[in-house]
Structure 1
Amino acid sequence: MTTDPNAAGAEPARRAPAGAAVLREDVTEAIRAAVFAELAAVGYARMSIEGIARRAGVGKTAVYRRWKSKLHLVLDLVSAVAAQGLPAPATGSLYGDVRALIEVLARALRHPVASQVIPDLLVEAVRNPELAEAVRTVLLDPRHGIAAGLVRDAVARGDLPEGTDADRVLELVAGPLYWRLVVVRTEPAEGYDTHMDDLAKAAVAALSG
């Protein structure tokens, strides 16, 4: 028996709003994958919407429906990666929090997007003020917020003096990690935990001194 959709009590079929574009998730994912591949292959400066669309197997319109420029596209993807795995350390001790922060940053820097894309973005940011501001907002501000929370907790416990600069925490911790994992691209073959412990102890000693 055929059911009359207009019969009393029947739920009317829901329709998409007129003029609303339905964005297919598989196309969106194909574009994201193409962006990572293009960045790794040609870098941010030479990357183009045309190249991304060609690699993704879609038209340029499909890209522009989702992002208005390559800057917004790249920053959207990088921010999604940067937001992953960034819990605020809360171990109850300065050493424990610094050690946890090291692990969080190391995990983020090992991500293929970070190791391949972020160095290129930082170079381009020197020449592009809009990109520099966006990178600061997307990548640096969240990490500064975590370091500021670490310092705030340490000051409340009496582990650090009032006025301790959160940026100094990042300089002591993120600098060596970035150099080893992104620039030199090496990790200690053995004694990884000892290496991380030594870095944490050195940072705590510098902050407390």
Structure 2
Amino acid sequence: MSRMSDSSRRPAGAAVLRQEVTGAIIEAALAELTDHGYARMSMDAVARRAGVGKAAIYRRWSSKEPLVLDLLTELADQAVPLPDTGTLYEDVAGFVRHTSALRADDRAMRILTDLTAEATRNPRLATAMHTTAELPRRAAATELLQRAVDRGELPADLDLDLATDCLIGLAYLRPRTPWQPSEPLDPGVLARLVEVILAALTACRG
């Protein structure tokens, strides 16, 4: 995971925050989320795991929630595929390949699954997941499809909303739970899934 910029959250005139400390806190928070989930995660536990004092965390985040929301933004950035190969087939294959790799990332999936459940009880977290994960993923899928329409690979009267639903829904076709290991799709399965998605997309006419 890339490191979040200290300068983006440091007020003018504040002391410089050490990047290595920020990185240790981020990794510790990810580990706590993976091992214990949002509800049982505490700033004390994050500080102990990171080997820093709690004050170091509170200089960067005022509470657990903004820390986790920053982590969610980072995870969401990794979860939004936008291949641009010049052909619909390869773009869809890249989209599916990316989502397959994400689903094979045990830590990312355990965290996202836990936060999805927590979002049913936490409106701010639900809003954050919608704006940082769901909307960008949908926008990326829609952009991919619009390029194909512009190239003439999909019909001009394509129902973009329905086609986006098909692409995302089928790309995330196989259910996965945190206790089930997931491997990237076999190339043969990937090819068949891409053909299924292409057939569905051509049927999504307005």
What's the TM-score bracket when you normalise by the shorter of the two chains?
0.7 to 0.9
Number of residues paired by the alignment?
189
Q: What is the TM-score with the length of structure 2 in the denominator?
A: 0.81
Aligned with residue 164 of structure 1, among 139, 160, 163? 160
Q: Where does residue 7 of structure 2 map in the other structure?
A: none
Identity %: 43
5+ long unaligned stretches in structure 1: 1-16
Q: Where does residue 3 of structure 2 map in the other structure?
A: none
Displacement after TM superposition at 1:78 (Å): 3.0
Aligned with residue 140 of structure 1, among 134, 142, 146? 134
Structure 2: distance between partners of 1:55 and 1:123? 25
Q: Secondary structure at the match of 2:170?
A: helix
Displacement after TM superposition at 1:184 (Å): 3.5
Displacement after TM superposition at 1:204 (Å): 1.1
CA shift in 2, pair 1:64/1:115, >3 Å: same
Q: Where does residue 187 of structure 1 map in the other structure?
A: 183
Q: Secondary structure at the match of 1:127?
A: coil
Q: Secondary structure at the match of 2:15?
A: coil
* Larger gyration radius, structure 1 or structure 2: 1
| Per-residue deviation, residues 40-74 of structure 1 (Å, max 9, x unmatched) | 22110111112211222222211111112212212
Q: Where does residue 19 of structure 2 map in the other structure?
A: 25
Bigger relative contact order, structure 1 or 2, given CA contacts below 8 A and separation 6+?
2
Structure 1: distance between partners of 2:187 and 2:144? 21
CA shift in 2, pair 1:180/1:174, >3 Å: same
Structure 2: distance between partners of 1:152 and 1:102? 17
Return structure 1 stretches of 4+ with deviation > 4 angstroms.
180-183
5+ long unaligned stretches in structure 2: 1-10
Structure 2: distance between partners of 1:75 and 1:111? 19
Q: CA RMSD in A?
A: 2.4
| Per-residue deviation, residues 17-56 of structure 1 (Å, max 9, x unmatched) | 9952221112111111111111122110111112211222
Contact 2:28 2:50 in 1 (8 A): yes
Q: Where does residue 68 of structure 1 map in the other structure?
A: 62
Q: What is the TM-score with the length of structure 1 in the denominator?
A: 0.80
Structure 1: distance between partners of 2:118 and 2:79? 26
Structure 1: distance between partners of 2:176 and 2:40? 27
